[in-house]
Amino acid sequence: MPRRQKDVEREALQMDYHFEHHRQNSYRYSIYAGLLCTFPFLILFALFFYFFWFGRR
């Protein structure tokens, strides 16, 4: 059963939309993951700096 040209074009457009949507989502999630990985290190560094600075006095 050969597919018609219209069906092939519609499927290609749907796949293109799907991959574009997935690419934007993965980009957004990578930003969130980077922030989630960065904040604990920032907090640890702030605590270390606080105790280092006020522990000397």
Nearest-angstrom CA–CA distance, 27 and 20: 11
For the entire predicted model, the pTM comes to: 0.42
Kindly give, in sequence order, each residue whose CB lies less than 8 Å from that of residue 45, ignoring residues fewer than 6 positions away: none
pLDDT, tens digit (0-9, with 9 covering 90-100), for 1-40: 567 888 888 888 888 877 777 777 788 888 888 999 999 9
**Where do the structural domains in the chain lie, given as residue ranges?**
1-57
Q: Is the dihedral of CA 18, 20, 24, 26 positive or negative?
A: positive
Kindly give, in sequence order, each residue whose CB lies less than 8 Å from that of residue 28, ignoring residues fewer than 6 positions away: none
